[in-house]
Structure 1
Amino acid sequence: MTDQDLFYLLALLKVDGVGDIMAKKLLTHFGNAEAIFKAKTNLIAAIDGVGSVLLKNLKDNSVFEKANQELEFIKSNNIKVSFFQEEDYPDRLKHCIDSPVLIFSAGNINLKNKKIISIVGTRQVTSYGMEFCRKLIEDLAPLDPVIVSGFAYGVDIVAHQLAMEHNLQTIGVLAHGLNQIYPKTHKKYVVKMEENGGFMTEFWSSSNPDKENFVRRNRIVAGMTEATIVIESADKGGSLITANIANDYNRDVFAVPGRVTDKYSQGCNDLIKTQKANVLTSAADLVYILNWDIENKPKTVQKQLFVELEPDEQKIYDFLVKNGKELLDIIALQCDYPIYRISGILLNMELKGVIRPLPGKLFEAI
């Protein structure tokens, strides 16, 4: 993308009434941003959703001055700019209808052929949450995932720190421009973050960390990653918004369960209860559901030898071997056992290591 292309894109995004969806619609129709500004009014008016107010705003020349100022900031600070139609734009984010037209980044970010996950949660992270996050990232480290979070207090900064400790690439998605760091106490992490990873944002240098920007930031966190993990959350919070966005984007969501009496497990427990998230008890759950083990090597699953099964257990095991993953209700029906009895049988089989439970009351033979 040339400086001229970027200049007109910046100007377009500064036009009142032009959000990401409208900008993409106009760019798709006219080919590039410069052509939009030079197009005849009647041609622009023919685009669905364009009204008289937007037509008037497109004639506001002040957007060019603002675009020039931002372009100077980008060039003088060695900011990388990714356009949604170009190859270097985060691949998964491209497929989100409301993704940013432009992403600004700093550091050494490389997302090619990478496993990318986001880890989010409460700003009041507990020792339980920190320990789970530590173990999770430690166990995932051999797979070299990219760890994405929001660089905020609590779970976010813990995830970034642990990723850096294990030499994993980590990306902080910011709710403001790249001319500042929020919170200020996290400035001490910036240099190390940028050495192997860095920062991304859709916001200009003129943007402050306003409340509404954090919600917009969350869609990038959810959209650019393969899965979103909620470590801890109260019954309300930004991490639950991220989880809901991830669900809307058809991404996998995982939540760490906790005691029903723990304030910062309520949000996670609710996500699991309402089937908006998979239960996450260890890195193995994530690896299995995302098929990461299958991607890296042929999956070799051997039946455990010398495990003695009761006749009813053997019947269920043979059924699962033959039919693959099945719902608890179907297993009960086909094997002719009442639900109250089969639940106990399946638990015993799970403890013997011959079956495993899956999300949605599914079971499969090992």
Structure 2
Amino acid sequence: MKNEFLLRLSLLKGVGTFGKQRIYQFAKKHQRWQFDSFEIRLLAQTTKPNDWNEWTADRLYEIKKNHRYLTIEDKEYPESLRHVPTPPLVLFYKGDLTLLNQEHLAIVGAREATDYGYHVIQKLMPELVKRGFVIVSGLAKGIDSFAHQFAISNQGKTIGVVGTGLDICYPKASGNLQIEMSRQHLVLSEYPNGTSPAKFHFPMRNRIIAGLSSGVLVIEAKKRSGSLITAQQALDYGKDVFAVPGSILNERSSGCHQLIQDGAICVEKPQDILDSYDLWNKIH
């Protein structure tokens, strides 16, 4: 009953993320897992109509039949994600769920990455994989895809977090990579099958990347970019942020330089990450 309630709540339209979090916290506190649509509106503090009553047992059965998923109440749910302000109530997944129990490092950066970004990842990845990091990124073109691909080619493991249903490959250029990761690694989403990409999905996706990882490494990012949103979320969650410097003549490095000026750890070699990570673990 608890997991079915959480699945239903995660699929609910007409209530935002914070409203769903309020409903979940109330249900958990009172160990009550049955509500009607009027109570849902009251708890969400909204007058908007919602589709709570449309999620019948038959509709939920279809979702359960066609998806593998974790709820925030499952013991396999990643502990680090429980502590972000609005954790996903449900994670749909394809692949190896045991990867959630390992050490995670996020790598994010420009979609229009240059050869410099490619070679930076090529240089850093062998030691990061050897150290035991599972590499987390967003399966976007550019730095994200490079990070996944180099993790795999160095016999490491990787997790992709997407802003669509798991039956959709976006961008299409990442399709073969996403299919391979769904079989041999892990792909996560908080959206059910059939969910198309939408602009607001990607900042939400980024909070999962930041929340799941112990640190976030930024390679080639402009001052206004999704990568900097991820880095800021990581800082808000108390995670380490690493940034690779680049040319002052290339605007793709301006965001990384801003992060370094703001206190991010400057990365020139793998050891810059490994030293900080070991120190972070000792403190915590």
Under a length normalisation based on structure 2, what TM-score does the superposition of the two structures give? 0.89
Residues 1:50 and 2:45 aligned together: yes
CA contact (8 A) 1:23 1:101 kept: no
Give the 3 Å change call, closer, same or farther, for CA 85–110 of structure 1 in structure 2.
Answer: same
Aligned amino acid, residue 146 of structure 2: V
SS state at 2:87 partner:
coil
1:134 alignment partner, one of 122, 125, 129:
122
Matched residues in 1 for 2:36 and 2:213: separation? 34
Q: After the TM superposition, which of the residue ranges 167-176 and 284-293 deviates more from structure 2?
A: 284-293
Residues 1:285 and 2:272 aligned together: yes
2:31 aligned partner: 31
CA contact (8 A) 1:12 1:18 kept: no
Give the 3 Å change call, closer, same or farther, for CA 107–294 of structure 1 in structure 2.
Answer: closer
1:226 alignment partner, one of 214, 218, 225:
214
2:192 aligned partner: 204
Q: After the TM superposition, which of the residue ranges 236-245 and 136-145 deviates more from structure 2?
A: 136-145
Q: How many residues align?
A: 279
- 1:110-149 to structure 2, matched below 5 A, reads 110-111=98-99, 113-149=101-137
1:8 aligned partner: 5
SS state at 1:110 partner:
helix
Aligned amino acid, residue 266 of structure 1: S
Give the 3 Å change call, closer, same or farther, for CA 50–29 of structure 1 in structure 2.
Answer: farther
Give the 3 Å change call, closer, same or farther, for CA 21–102 of structure 1 in structure 2.
Answer: same
Matched residues in 1 for 2:16 and 2:71: separation? 16
CA deviation digits over 1:102-140, x for unaligned, max 9?
A: 111101132355210100000011111111111111122
1:163 aligned partner: 151
State the 1:97 CA deviation.
1.8
SS state at 1:72 partner:
helix
Matched residues in 1 for 2:65 and 2:27: separation? 24
State the 1:190 CA deviation.
3.0
- 1:1-366 to structure 2, matched below 5 A, reads 4-13=1-10, 14-17=12-15, 19=17, 20-33=20-33, 35-37=34-36, 50=45, 53=47, 57=50, 60-62=52-54, 64-65=55-56, 68-69=58-59, 71-76=61-66, 79-111=67-99, 113-275=101-263, 277-291=264-278
Aligned amino acid, residue 61 of structure 1: N
Give the 3 Å change call, closer, same or farther, for CA 50–290 of structure 1 in structure 2.
Answer: same
Matched residues in 2 for 1:267 and 1:281: separation? 16
Structure 1 residue runs of 5 or longer lacking an equivalent are 296-366
Aligned amino acid, residue 268 of structure 2: T
Matched residues in 2 for 1:225 and 1:182: separation? 22
Matched residues in 2 for 1:7 and 1:68: separation? 12
CA contact (8 A) 1:21 1:98 kept: yes
SS state at 2:160 partner:
strand
CA deviation digits over 1:183-213, x for unaligned, max 9?
A: 1122212342133312101012242111111
Q: After the TM superposition, which of the residue ranges 181-190 and 159-168 deviates more from structure 2?
A: 181-190
**Structure number with bigger Rg:** 1
Higher relative contact order (CA 8 A, sep 6+): 2
Give the 3 Å change call, closer, same or farther, for CA 139–253 of structure 1 in structure 2.
Answer: same
